Homo-oligomer: A and B are copies of this chain.
Amino acid sequence: MHFASDNSAPVHPLVMQALTRANDGSAMGYGNDDLSAQVVQQVRDLFEAPEAAVYLVPTGTSANALALSILCQPYQTVFCSELAHINVDECNAPEFYTGGAKLTLVRVPDVMTPDSLRAALDGEENRGVHGPLRGPVSITNVTEMGNVYSLREMTELCAVAKDYGLPVHLDGARFAQACVAMGCTPAEMTWQIGVDVAVFGGTKNGLMGVEAVVIFDPAKAQEFEYRRKRAGHLFSKHRYLAAQMEPYLTDDLWRELAISANTRAAELRAGLEALGLEIVNDTQANMIFFRMPLRAHYAAKQAGAAYHLMEPENVPEDTPVMARLVCSWDTPSETVQALLHTFRNAL
């Protein structure tokens, strides 16, 4: 019963097969092989962006930090929510890669609204050279709390950024899960509404370790290439990054895996609600934050379930505590039912 994270899940069999296929003889390094070229084209096709520059990097942190480094000067500030991965889970990577830019936190824990974003932007009022200059707005979809911005909501946030003349970065570690939940195309949730650089995540959706950074203004491409190399994120045996993306982008596998994860989460959510438990977030994606009495947590732990408890355990057994459950592309319905069964028995 593994619900700790979608990055605890294994690699999809088709991806393993593609790696084996790619492992045939010699190939030019550093992305100069045919498979790498093919994957770039596949991403462009998927995003309906024939001019886009596309780069593969191995981790979400490198994808976000490199993306921000081409959107943000060292004397600027990035706008994001308090719980944004770039703020709380990347150990100052954005500050490192941008050469010392700041993050200005929009005063919401997780989901930005146009008003809260505007308030933050206005808060970094014009203080001339004393304060940092306003830099990019960074949106995460699916958010850290598992919420999904609707297409309308994302459109509105982008519009605010554009009002202030600022570029937009999309942290898409769970791009697929968001896209499926939003019911739109990758183009609709990115360049068509004003996203300048999108991270198209794969690691949390069945790949071994690959994210595609999609840069819609190709004038930024050269800078990205130099910065990727400088950061040690250009793989010599690049074909093995491409080999992961290739099946992912074929026959909509990325979408299929996201649907599977989201569906399982919906099933889990319905089950928790049926048990009368409080659901904290309001999501159609693959993460659920909910509250249960501590004793239910003990029972689940006893039964071998793995997930993150988000609040301290030093409370009475009946106290509701918040926990996070994440479904992956490979979570079976049986496992969902087994967990629900464990909770049911403990309540």
Contact = CB atoms under 8 A, between A and B. Distances in A.
Contacts of A233: 58-59, 62, 232-233
A152 B48 CA distance: 54
Interface in A40-54: none
Contacts of A77: 92
B75 A227 contact: yes
A113 interface: no
Interface in A1-38: 2, 4-5, 7-11, 16, 19-20, 23-30
A29 B8 contact: yes
A59 B2 contact: no
A318 B25 CA distance: 33
The residue in A4, A19, A20, A75 that gathers the most chain B C-beta atoms within 10 A of its C-beta is A75
A231 B229 contact: no
Given A92-B74, A229-B130, A236-B203, A27 B8 contact: yes
A230 B101 CA distance: 10
A20 B10 contact: no
Nearest to A1: B26
B226 A91 contact: yes
A228 interface: yes
B235 A74 contact: no
A153 interface: no
Given A61-B229, A62-B233, A232-B59, A74 B88 contact: no
A91 B203 contact: no
B91 A240 contact: no
A110 B20 CA distance: 37
Contact of A99 (B11, B99, B103): B99
A219 to B, nearest CB: 14
A26 B335 CA distance: 13
A209 interface: yes
A29 B16 contact: no
Closest 8 CB pairs of A and B: A62-B232, A2-B26, A61-B232, A7-B236, A75-B226, A95-B100, A129-B229, A99-B99
Interface of A: 2, 4-5, 7-11, 16, 19-20, 23-30, 57-63, 65-66, 73-77, 88-93, 95-96, 99-103, 105, 127-133, 203-204, 208-209, 223, 225-237, 240, 306, 328
Given A62-B233, A66-B232, 19 more contacts: A4-B26, A8-B29, A10-B27, A11-B237, A26-B328, A57-B232, A59-B234, A59-B235, A61-B229, A74-B92, A75-B226, A91-B226, A91-B229, A91-B230, A92-B102, A96-B100, A100-B100, A129-B234, A132-B226
